[in-house]
Chains A and B, each alone.
Chain A
Amino acid sequence: MIAVLALLAGVLLGIVFHPAVPPELVPYLPIAVVAALDAVFGGVRAKLDGIFDDKQFVVSFISNVLVSALIVYVGDQLGVGGQLSTGVVVVLGVRIFGNVAAIRRHLFRA
């Protein structure tokens, strides 16, 4: 409950403040979104499995965002930013799919 409220509060803050993203951070935004979605779906699944842990959630989210941002940064410096971004999206996308499938099994028993 608190979690949903916090999420909604974040959305509202974003709408109200409408922050301008610094141009040098723009390439990291999509990757950060994918990493965040991975953490959120992982957390929801753990909650449904009954093994949710706050510290694990926070640490996994932060580390996901940082590692994916680092990969994109290094990729940009090496000139293979696009390919490495694709790699990050594939790995995190696979995890999101797996976790959503588990959530679906929990909710619909199918």
Chain B
Amino acid sequence: MTVPDPDGGSGKRTYGPDFLTALFQNPLDPGYADAAARKAEGRGRTGVARRVASGSTALMLLVIGFLLVVAYQQTVAEEPARTVARDELVDQVENRREETADLQARADELAEEVAGLREKELTGAALARLRDLEAATGFATVHGDGAKITLSDGPTSVDPVTGERRTESRVKDTDLQLATNALWSAGAEAIAINGQRLTATSTIRQAGEAILVNVQPVASPYEVVAIGPGDLAGDFRSGYAGHFFETLVARYGMAFDATEVKDVTLEAATELKLRVATPSTPPPAPSGSSSSSPDGSGSPVPSGSASEGGR
């Protein structure tokens, strides 16, 4: 065998440790041992070669020190860039929020001005009719007596086996829709859920675990306040909805209450989106076909308003 045996040349084959084991057992470069062996044999470097070698080591250490500092500075320099970007975003969000609040204040101001001017221009019957319409459609603040329906979630138990939360006892959007529909049919003139006034285009719908009224989240306990005839609360309790909620209370532990309230104030609905408008004085119709002129009375019927949730 002419090839030198890497396992020591004793003829007996021994298996070397695998790479990782060797790495763990002997982390030092084997080159150092070889160089030491060469030195021991008297073949070490002398004179100029020796000086060049130690010089190159010094140079190398210089480079290493330089490298460490550069890496440190680089790491330190990158950090502020990240926080700066984040701070800028936070600033932007806050600025936009302030802008939104300012614009909302300006919109309120202008709406007041419009209302003032309108009252100055209109008189008597027209103004009264306008106010009635506004009150009925939810775009004006209204005061009066009525009923307050309170609904709140029952206890949510956690299933001991699956760890799942049972959500049957939570108030659902359909429950609120049922309550508002019952109130409308019992003669309510204005309804608000947790301060959100219902209009002809209001929605009550579930988004995940939250219930959105007018796209604003509302949370338990839900207070449905309605202004209407004096026996509204009693009618509600003895009607279908009242019995339905009593059943829910008995079965799932929800809380339900219907009481009469005196002199409550319901705020106007926040957003008014004008989608269709027709001139109040129809332009002179072309001769012959006046039947196609649109009906100007677009006042929404309140009793239909809460049914948009898709029941």
Residues of A within 8 A of B (CB): 2-3, 5-15, 18-19, 21, 26, 29-30, 32-33, 36, 39-40, 42-43, 45-46, 49-62, 91, 94-99, 102
Contact = CB atoms under 8 A, between A and B. Distances in A.
A55 B35 CA distance: 9
Contact of A40 (B27, B36, B64): B64
Given A29-B70, A29-B74, A99-B28, A54 B56 contact: yes
Given A8-B65, A10-B65, A54-B57, A42 B24 contact: no
Interface of B: 23-24, 26-29, 31-36, 39, 45, 50, 53-54, 56-71, 73-74
A38 to B, nearest CB: 9
Contacts of A13: 62, 65-66, 69
Nearest to B50: A54
A42 B26 CA distance: 11
A2 to B, nearest CB: 5
Given A55-B53, A58-B56, A6 B28 contact: no
Contacts of B67: 10, 14, 29, 32-33, 36
Nearest to B55: A54
A6 B65 contact: yes
B216 to A, nearest CB: 44
A107 B135 CA distance: 90
Nearest to B52: A54
A53 B31 contact: yes
Nearest to A17: B66
Nearest to A99: B27
Nearest to B72: A14
Contacts, number: 133
21 contacts: A6-B58, A7-B61, A10-B63, A13-B66, A14-B73, A15-B69, A26-B74, A29-B70, A29-B71, A30-B71, A33-B67, A36-B68, A42-B27, A46-B28, A51-B33, A53-B35, A54-B56, A56-B32, A56-B34, A62-B60, A95-B23
A98 B69 CA distance: 25
A104 to B, nearest CB: 13
Nearest to A15: B69
Contacts of B63: 10
Contact of B61 (A10, A15, A99): A10
What 10 A-B pairs come out closest when comparing CB atoms?
A10-B65, A14-B69, A98-B27, A54-B53, A53-B35, A51-B36, A6-B58, A6-B61, A10-B62, A10-B66
**Best-surrounded residue of A13, A91, A102 (most CB of chain B within 10 A):** A13
B47 to A, nearest CB: 14
